[in-house]
Amino acid sequence: MTHTRTTLSRRESAIGRYLPRPLLGGALPWLSADVGPWLYVLAALFLISLLGFVHVGQASYVARQVEDMGKLESQLYELKHRNNTLRLRIAQREQMPWIKQQARAMGFSEPQHIEYVEVWVDEPPPAAGGGAEHEGRAPAPLALSQLPGWWHGALRQFSDWVRVGNSRAGQ
């Protein structure tokens, strides 16, 4: 068994064989074969550190977003709780005993006598001069004919109320 020993020159080193020659020798003539591999190692370390910084930046951004979402969810819970509290207060104040108590505190009392008056609202306005008079009412002045229809309805309702009130007073 014979042992042969081979020695490689710097250009034939294991790392130097796989590096492209134009990059080391042709493009940068001042670089030796020993510095070239370390340049690739430094470039790889730079890229890895750059990727690390990008990852840390994204992770901190996501952490801030999660924190903001937590704050917003707590605000939403608090607002829903306050909304439910206000709904409960509204429901309590819509009850008749509370309304009566507040009315008594303001000086109101229960009415002694309740009188209901029947008022016909959906009657068409009487035709001017065409037909019988409407239960002795005086004709409206000409200026009232130019008022809107709801005004005529309100006047008719008031006159019915006055007529019923006068007939009860005469009894």
CA-to-CA distance for 128 and 146, rounded, in angstroms?
13
| pLDDT score for 142 | 46
Q: Which residues of 101-122 are buried (b: 16+ CB within 10 A; e: fewer)?
A: eeeeeeeeeeeeeeeeeeeeee
pLDDT at 6 over 70: no
Cα-trace Rg, the chain: 50
Residues 6+ apart with CB under 8 A from 23: 36
Task: Name which residue leads in pLDDT, 47 or 109.
Answer: 47
Report how far residue 21's alpha carbon sits from residue 117's, in angstroms, rounded to the nearest whole number.
Answer: 112
Give the CA distances from residue 103 to residues 50, 89, 94, 110, 116, in Å, rounded to whole numbers and listed in that order: 75, 18, 13, 9, 22
Average pLDDT, stretch 159-170? 71
Q: Is the pLDDT of residue 84 over 90?
A: yes
Q: Which two tokens stand for residue 67?
A: 């924190």
CA distance 103 to 154: 29
Candidate from 33-37, 93-97, 125-129 with smallest mean pLDDT: 125-129
Percent of the chain with pLDDT over 70: 62
Give the mean pLDDT of 123-138. Answer: 57
Supply the pLDDT for residue 128: 62
Residue 24, pLDDT above cutoff 50? no
pLDDT tops 80 at residue 157: yes
